[in-house]
């Protein structure tokens, strides 16, 4: 049904316009309490076996919405209604910015992929903090039912040398509203951003964000994660893993989009890919490398740090594979565009079935089992 709808309506529209249209519908539905309850009952049934504890937080399940879909924290309840167990908003930058010129989002339907060079279009951390505070005030205690991750990045016009102060500003404004905080140093669409993944740059950045979060929020410890690119060389993945352990980071998110184009070519002609130009590739072609990076991280850090697997997850099998590789949480974005509103439901049901058929009593027991097996062999 959604496939037909996608082919007839969304596929014929500009991808960014289709995104805004779908986004508006989701927000509108979530604003009507009766409709929200009904849609959630159909699309987001909860499976007890999938209950997950991660980052010191209790969640309904391990599957969340990756950053970039709800950049300004305006559809958290809508996305929860559709079945995402956590919603990572952002990337938010200290200053509001329009992002790159349009056209900046492209579909590669045959490859079940997207290319984007959005460039952190967002309302800025002051406005997003106000929105998160207003949501909390409106919902009261109920807000705690949804886990909200806040992903922060560097403002484009801020020079690399002043990046730390820019992230600290966003941390000061947003940490109080974040169930967990993510330092994004891996988007390919902000010039120089990915240089911050080098440990000499990353160490002071993460230390400063940690300090700012602790200084701003004294009632609890806000979990801090870093999100990395799939294009890092293996030794750089190891270096980030070691740094994360050294700094007592809570988690690593692997991975962001890739600048590589190797996984493509199912049917999208090479010249179409070339015509799209620069940007981050996401979806199915990213699957293999994201899984590889995740397994490598788990082999290095084991259970000392929470790993979040993202990149090319389309099915329950993909999510289960990430969990066995070492992910406590998994996220998705691109497949939601192609699969539609029943996606989370299918994924949850499939995950619960796989867990029931597995030798593991709980999801937590399954985390990293495959990577541990490989290491022991
Ligand atoms: C249109 C688009 C915008 C994105 N924006 C962000 C962003 O602002 N911050 C971020 O950390 N990741 C962003 N991402 C990356 C996703 O969070 C995710 O890491 C990546 O798409 C891989 O997952 P997927 O294959 O399930 O899409 C974006 C992805 C897409 C497709």
Tens-digit pLDDT profile for residues 271-314? 889 999 999 999 999 999 999 999 999 999 999 999 999 999 99
Average pLDDT of the chain is 94
**What's the whole-number mean pLDDT along residues 28-50?**
91
With 90 as the cut, is the pLDDT of residue 106 above it? yes
* Residue whose CA is at the smallest distance from ligand 1 atom 4: 68
With 90 as the cut, is the pLDDT of residue 343 above it? yes
pLDDT at residue 337, as a whole number: 95
**What's the whole-number mean pLDDT along residues 172-201?**
94
User: Measured in angstroms, how far is the CA atom of residue 279 from the centroid of ligand 1?
Assistant: 11
Is any atom of ligand 1 closer than 6 Å to the C-beta of 184? yes
> Could you identify the atom of ligand 1 that is nearest to the CA of residue 283?
25
Is any atom of ligand 1 closer than 6 Å to the C-beta of 100? no
- List residues with catalytic annotation: 187
**What's the whole-number mean pLDDT along residues 372-376?**
95
pLDDT at residue 331, as a whole number: 98
Number of domains composing the chain: 1
pLDDT at residue 140, as a whole number: 79
pLDDT at residue 88, as a whole number: 98
107-111, 186-190, 204-208 — most confident range: 204-208
For residue 99, the enclosing domain spans 2-376
The answer to whether the predicted template modeling score (pTM) of the entire model surpasses 0.85 is yes
With 80 as the cut, is the pLDDT of residue 374 above it? yes
pLDDT band at 8 (very low <50, low <70, confident <90, very high): confident
pLDDT digits (tens, 9 = 90+) for 295-305: 999 999 999 99
User: Measured in angstroms, how far is the CA atom of residue 183 from the centroid of ligand 1?
Assistant: 14
pLDDT band at 145 (very low <50, low <70, confident <90, very high): confident
Of 287, 293, 291, nearest in space to 314 by CA: 287
pLDDT band at 197 (very low <50, low <70, confident <90, very high): confident
11 versus 135: the higher-pLDDT residue is 135
pLDDT at residue 141, as a whole number: 65
Is any atom of ligand 1 closer than 6 Å to the C-beta of 313? yes
Bridge partners of residue 59, in order along the sequence: 52
User: Measured in angstroms, how far is the CA atom of residue 67 from the centroid of ligand 1?
Assistant: 6
The CATH number of the domain holding residue 66 is 3.20.20.70
Is any atom of ligand 1 closer than 6 Å to the C-beta of 114? yes
Binding residues for substrate: 71, 116-120, 184, 189, 256-257
**Region class of 329: left (phi > 0), else alpha (psi between -120 and 50), else beta:** beta
Is any atom of ligand 1 closer than 6 Å to the C-beta of 257? yes
pLDDT digits (tens, 9 = 90+) for 68-82: 999 999 999 999 999
Binding residues for FMN: 67-71, 91, 151, 184, 227, 255, 283, 312, 333-334
Distance separating alpha carbons of residues 335 and 337, to the nearest angstrom? 5
pLDDT band at 57 (very low <50, low <70, confident <90, very high): very high
**Region class of 248: left (phi > 0), else alpha (psi between -120 and 50), else beta:** left
Contact 66, 331 (CB under 8 A): yes
User: Measured in angstroms, how far is the CA atom of residue 317 from the centroid of ligand 1?
Assistant: 20
> Could you identify the atom of ligand 1 that is nearest to the CA of residue 310?
23
| Bridge-based pairing state of the strands 113-116 and 180-184 | unpaired
Contact 64, 187 (CB under 8 A): no
Of 78, 91, 5, 69, nearest in space to 35 by CA: 78
**How far is the CA of 33 from the CAs of 74, 183, 320, 361, in angstroms?**
16, 34, 33, 36
pLDDT at residue 143, as a whole number: 54
pLDDT band at 196 (very low <50, low <70, confident <90, very high): very high
């Amino acid at each position: 049904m959604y496939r037909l709808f996608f082919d007839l309506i969304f596929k014929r529209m500009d991808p960014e316009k289709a995104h805004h249209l779908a986004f508006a519908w989701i927000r509108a539905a979530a604003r009507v309490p009766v409709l929200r309850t009904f849609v959630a009952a159909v699309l987001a049934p909860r499976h007890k076996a999938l209950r997950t504890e991660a980052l010191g937080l209790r969640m309904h399940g391990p599957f969340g919405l990756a950053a970039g879909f709800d950049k300004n924290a305006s559809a958290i309840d809508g996305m929860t209604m559709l079945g995402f167990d956590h919603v990572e908003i952002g990337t938010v930058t200290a200053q509001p910015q329009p992002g790159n010129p349009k056209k900046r989002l492209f579909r590669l339907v045959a490859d079940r992929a997207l290319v984007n060079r959005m460039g952190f279009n967002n309302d800025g951390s002051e406005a997003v903090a106000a929105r998160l505070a207003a949501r909390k005030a409106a919902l009261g205690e109920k807000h705690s039912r949804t886990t909200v991750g806040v992903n922060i990045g560097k403002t484009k016009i801020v020079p690399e040398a002043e990046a730390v102060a820019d992230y600290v500003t966003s941390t000061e404004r947003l940490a109080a509203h974040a169930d967990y905080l993510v330092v994004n140093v891996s988007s390919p669409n902000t010039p120089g951003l990915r240089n911050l993944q080098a440990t000499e740059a990353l160490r002071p950045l993460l230390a400063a964000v940690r300090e700012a979060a602790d200084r701003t929020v004294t009632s609890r410890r806000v979990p801090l994660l870093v999100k990395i690119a799939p294009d890092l060389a293996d030794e750089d993945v190891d270096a980030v893993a070691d740094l994360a352990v050294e700094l007592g980071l809570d988690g690593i998110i692997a991975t962001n989009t890739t600048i590589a184009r190797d996984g493509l070519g199912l049917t999208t002609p090479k010249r179409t890919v070339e015509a799209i130009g620069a940007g981050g590739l996401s979806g199915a072609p990213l699957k293999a490398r994201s899984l590889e990076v995740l397994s490598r991280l788990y082999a290095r850090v084991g259970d000392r740090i929470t790993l979040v697997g993202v990149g090319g997850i389309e099915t329950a099998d993909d999510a289960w594979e990430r969990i066995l590789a070492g992910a406590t949480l998994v996220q998705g974005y691109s497949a939601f565009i192609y699969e539609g509103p029943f996606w989370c439901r299918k994924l949850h049901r499939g995950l619960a079935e796989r867990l029931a058929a597995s030798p593991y009593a709980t999801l937590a027991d399954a985390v990293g089992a495959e990577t541990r097996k490989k290491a022991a062999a």
